[in-house]
Chain A
Amino acid sequence: MTVRNVAIVGTGQTHHARRRKDVTQVGLAREAVTRALVDAGLTMDDIDSVVVCSGPVLFAAVNQPEKWLVDAIGARLKPVVRVTSGGGTGLAGALAAVNQIRGGFAERVLVVAYDKLSEGALQYSISTLYDPFWGREFAVGIMGFAAAYWRARMDNLGHTEEAAAMVSVKNHKNALLNPYAHVKKEISVEDVLNSRPLCWPIKLLDVPPISDGACAVVLASEDAAKSSPDPAWIRGMAYYSEAENVANRSMVQSEPLMIAAQRVYQQAGITNPRRQCDVVEVQEPYTCFELSYYEGLGLCPPGGAAQLIASGATQMDGDIPVNPSGGCMGANPIGATALIRLAEIAQQVRGRAGAHQIPDARVGLMQAGGGWANLRGVAVVSNTKG
């Protein structure tokens, strides 16, 4: 049987900031919702169902915050549910929304993702990810874990500190063009290499900021999308997991990412992502992850990421631009970042990306993930149904 087509018909973001003192969490989310509805030319009356996404509740110390959000966005007496998946939650939520539409539960679904990280103890909260008996005594936050990953890839795949520094330089530069980004500074490879080591090989400029911010996306069925002048069609979307305690888990290539990418390319009819995709947005919690995603997404062969970034192919004017929005380097409200990546590629294929628009972008690819790098999702959108 044919799976129903689903499109993104509106997106909205807040102007992200290190600390938004002027709004509450739900006020922040409401800003993004209002913008997405305006972008879609719709009101809350047109929305059948709402999916809320945010980081782990410890981040902002409100349990099940969608219960508070319902009034702020005018969703009372509608279906409202929260999907959580660490940093990838925005994409996991979008996938839940796509399924609600494909499964006949709703015609138009609003997905809203946000985090107000200025209100919680971030690395403390992340540390509680680990098993209370076996993991917590030596695990501190997520950085040591990420550094170990990178170190392994350095030896096996040549993901050097210089290559990662180029990712930071590129994304910082791109963020200068993004009106919603709050980190706006031009940096050099030397700046990154000389920045303060936090957990070697991770240095200060390999790390994205901590942000307050929200993003909202309106998804619609094919019928409901008819009123939209420029829908971005979901051509493929998947979100896969890897059990944390599998002894043979690869530290080198992300298996759930490769599975998700393979699945999505199959759905979207993509056989050569480097050639067939016009623009890519990835969620890079540290620079080294962007290198890893190049390989996991098949933009280059395993071990080819350092070469790819050095070649300039992933720059704004390259043949496969990655993170023209600046990615997480420009803003990183964790619970919202995955949905921001999806919104960004949707705006690209709709021709609405503004100053960081990639000319003639038709097919967009995005990646997001969460947990301890064990939850990985991929999506492809395009300006045609396929």
Chain B
Amino acid sequence: MATNTLNRVAVVASAQTLLRDAWTELQHVDLIASAVDSALRGSGLRMQDVDVIIDCGSDVLDGRSISNCGFLGAMGAHHKEESRVEEDGLFGAIYGTTKIASGSASVALIIAYSKPSESDVSAYYSTLTEPFYQRALGLDHLSAAGLMASQYLTMTDADEAALLHIAAESWRKVACNRWVELPEIPTSADIQASPRVADPLHRLQIARPVDGAVAVILATEQVAWRLTDRPVWVTGMGAAMDSHFLADRLPGELEAARAAGKMATKRAGITDITSIDLAEISASSAATEAMVVEALGFAAVGHAVDCYSENAAVSINPSGGALPADPIMATGLVRLHEASARLAGRLGDESATRAIVHGAGGLGMQNHCVFTLEV
């Protein structure tokens, strides 16, 4: 008889490097080792305590086949169980969580990183498309973001002012994020004045690729209580992938984000979305951020902007989110790090008790992953 008793899993430590335009003086291994070392330091755990390592990076961005092979030493994976999930780091956290929940491991280290500054981001995205129909069009992340934003504005009540407000809020909040190296914080007028790179989107409404690495340590309940009196529990997880072809997806909405969110909240037993205090969301643009907020159920379709007002029940992206800093492949795991640090009270405030975390991958955010957390 199969036992249904699963271990509870907690986020017990996490750290990230500074996210910046270009880490020219450091290699991938340096960024990875720095994040891993920072996560372990002060956690009460040593590398010997880690049972399994799951890492998320991209061979294409790294310019290297099976690139995890070259980084195993920096990850601390020597003679350990290790696997590469070639997707946003939050999907790697699903792997680590199931491994611990199953009773097969006590401590899992999840790592995600990228150095898009050394790569061609547009080529990274355009090579995601199948070679027969979509690639010939020259689709990339910018054109996909523009098309999706146009659909959003056409199909819903949202307007360009809403997208401006969402982007301005992201930049306003990230100003307080010490882990992101920033240019001068743009005002709403600056955003509007930035070049319109993918109609209707301005450059400052589109996720800014940055270099960086993040490490998150997951552990069993037994281990967690020995390390902290405020463990951050993983209460639910969900994932869903949408159709590959942009034209096949529901215009103006993110069905896969909705499916992933439902899967996670159902597992967590969350029936009232307003019980969530904060949401950390990954998005390719201000429009897709709005679409994620709506897909997760925080607002009706076309009305995400209401969640960015002072009296909104949920705090969306208190870290600033992915628009000001998008370390491709690591963005979702950075969100998990941010949300769990906040819930654990490591940012000096213990008022938040429930969070939802979202990560995405693919052209036009084809793949979605959602975690629910609770202290």
Among residues 1 to 29 in chain B, which have CB atoms less than 8 Å away from a CB atom of chain A? 1-7
Chain A residues within an 8 Å CB radius of B132: 24
Residue of A24, A75, A84, A95 contacting most chain B CB atoms (<10 Å):
A84
- Give every chain A residue within 8 A of B101 (Cβ-Cβ): 102-105
Kindly state whether residue A322 has any CB partner on chain B within 8 Å.
Answer: no
Q: Known interface pairs A102-B98, A103-B97, A242-B78. Does A79 touch B72 (Cβ–Cβ under 8 Å)?
A: no
| A129 nearest CB neighbor, chain B only | B65
A337 to B125, CA, bound (A): 28
How far is B87's CA from A13's CA once the two chains are assembled, in angstroms? 26
Please indicate the chain B residues that have their CB under 8 angstroms from the CB of A96 in the complex.
83, 85, 95
Within 46-102 of B, Cβ neighbours of A (below 8 Å) are at: 58-60, 63-66, 68-70, 72-73, 77-87, 91, 94-95, 97-102
Q: Which residues of B contact A374 (CB under 8 A)?
A: 69, 72
Q: From residue B23, how far is it (CB to closest CB) to chain A in Å?
A: 16
Inter-subunit contact A222/B1 (CB<8 Å): yes
Question: Which residues of A from 199 to 224 have beta carbons under 8 Å from B?
Answer: 221-223
**B130 an interface residue at 8 Å Cβ cutoff?**
yes
Selected interface stretch from A1-9, A32-40, A353-361:
A1-9
Q: Mark A63-94, 1 if CB is under 8 A from B, else 0.
A: 11011101100011111111111100000100
Inter-chain contact A99/B98, CB cutoff 8 Å:
yes
A241 touches B78 (CB 8 A): yes
- Enumerate chain B residues within 8 angstroms of A331, measured Cβ to Cβ: none
Closest to B102 in A: A102
Of B59, B91, B255, B263, the contact of A58 (CB 8 Å cutoff):
B59
Q: Is the CB of B131 within 8 A of A62?
A: yes
Give 1 or 0 for each of A54-65: 1 = CB within 8 Å of chain B CB.
001111011110
Contact A105 B66 (CB under 8 A): no
Cα–Cα, bound, A56→B57 (Å)? 12
A259 interfacial by beta-carbon distance below 8 Å: yes
Closest residue of chain A to B127, judged by CB? A63
Q: Which of A5, A75, A76, A79 is most buried by chain B, counting CB atoms within 10 A of its CB?
A: A79
Measured CA separation A107–B80 after assembly (Å)? 27
Range, interface on chain B: 35 or more
- Also in contact, A4 and B2, with CB within 8 A (given A71-B245, A79-B238, A86-B66): yes
Question: Are A63 and B128 in contact, CB atoms less than 8 angstroms apart?
Answer: yes
User: Closest chain B residue to A255 by CB distance?
Assistant: B79
Q: Which one of A243-251, A281-289, A341-349 is at the B interface?
A: A243-251
B366 within 8 A of A: yes
Whether a CB of chain B sits under 8 angstroms from the CB of A273 is no
Residue from A76, A96, A238 having most chain B Cβ neighbours under 10 A: A76
B276 at the interface (CB under 8 A from A): no
Chain B: CB-nearest residue to A237? B104
Complex CA distance for A381 and B315, rounded to whole angstroms: 49
Contact of B73 among A1, A77, A243, A372 (CB under 8 A): A243
Count of chain A residues near B, Cβ 8 A: 69
B75 nearest in chain A by CB position: A243
Measured CB to CB, the closest approach of chain B to A384, in angstroms, equals 16
Closest Cβ neighbor of A241 among chain B residues: B82
Q: Which residues of B contact A128 (CB under 8 A)?
A: 63-65
Residue with the greatest number of chain A CB neighbours at <10 A, chosen from B85, B237, B243, B260? B85
Q: Is the CB of B244 within 8 A of A68?
A: yes
Chain B, 211-262, CB within 8 A of any chain A CB: 237-245, 248, 255-256, 259-260
Q: Is B174 an interface residue (CB 8 A)?
A: no
**Among B7, B95, B103: residue with most chain A CB under 10 A:** B95
The interface residues of chain B lying within 8 Å CB-to-CB of A242 are 72, 78-79
Determine the chain A residues whose CB is within 8 A of the CB of B63 once the complex forms: 128, 132
A371 at the interface (CB under 8 A from B): yes
A295–B243 alpha-carbon span in the complex (Å):
46
Contact, CB under 8 Å: A243 / B77: yes
In whole Å, how far is B66's beta carbon from the nearest beta carbon of chain A?
4
- A221 and chain B: residue at smallest CB distance: B2
Could you tell me the distance between the alpha carbons of A372 and B244 in the complex, rounded to whole angstroms? 32
Residues of A within 8 A of B128 (CB): 62-64, 67
Flag whether B285 is at the interface (Cβ < 8 A). Answer: no
Task: Find out whether the CB atom of A61 lies under 8 angstroms from the CB atom of B240.
Answer: no
Query: Can you name the residue of chain A whose Cβ is closest to the Cβ of B241?
Result: A80
Instruction: Let me know if A103 and B87 touch, CB within 8 A.
Output: no
Asked if A371 and B78 sit within 8 Å, CB to CB, the answer is no
Asked if A82 contacts B3 (CB within 8 A), the reply is no
Query: How far apart are B110's CB and chain A's nearest CB, in angstroms?
Result: 13
**Which of chain B's residues have a CB closer than 8 A to the CB of A66?**
241
Taking CB atoms, residues of chain B closer than 8 Å to A238 are 81
Complex Cα distance, B363 from A374, in Å, reads 32
Q: Mark A112-150, 1 if CB is under 8 A from B, else 0.
A: 000000000000011011111000000000000000000
State whether A105 and B81 are in contact (beta carbons under 8 Å apart), knowing that A77-B241, A129-B65 are contacts in the complex.
Answer: no
A79 to B73, CA, bound (A): 30
Chain B residues with Cβ under 8 A from A221's Cβ?
A: 2
| B361 interfacial contact with A, CB 8 Å | yes
Q: Quick check: A239 and B241 within 8 Å, CB to CB? A: no
B98 x A105 contact (CB < 8 A): yes
Interface presence of A256 (CB below 8 A): yes
Contacts of A180 in B (CB 8 A): none
Report the Cα distance A58→B128, complex, angstroms.
Answer: 12
- Tell me, in angstroms, the Cα distance from A372 to B1 when the chains sit together: 41
- Which residue of chain A lies nearest to B105 when distances are taken between CB atoms in the complex? A99
Report whether A3 and B87 are in contact in the complex, using a CB–CB cutoff of 8 Å.
Answer: no
Indicate whether A100 reaches chain B with its CB closer than 8 angstroms.
yes
**Binary contact readout B281-306 vs A (1 if CB under 8 angstroms, 0 otherwise):** 00000000000000000000000000
B332 at the interface (CB under 8 A from A): no
- Pick the most buried of B6, B72, B86: most chain A CB atoms within 10 A of its CB: B86
Q: Could you mark each residue 344-366 of chain B with 1 if its beta carbon is under 8 Å from any beta carbon of chain A, else 0?
A: 00000000000000000111001
Point out the residue from A81, A92, A100, A129 that lies within 8 Å of B64, measured CB to CB.
A129
Most buried by B among A5, A64, A130, A246: A64
Given known contacts A59-B65, A84-B86, A240-B79, what 7 new A-B pairs fall within 8 Å (CB)? A68-B129, A79-B239, A83-B86, A99-B99, A100-B94, A240-B81, A244-B69
Q: List 10 A-B contacts (CB under 8 A).
A: A1-B5, A81-B85, A99-B95, A100-B94, A103-B98, A130-B70, A240-B80, A244-B70, A371-B69, A375-B82
What are the nearest 9 A-B pairs in CB distance?
Answer: A103-B98, A102-B102, A56-B65, A79-B239, A243-B73, A243-B78, A103-B101, A222-B2, A63-B127
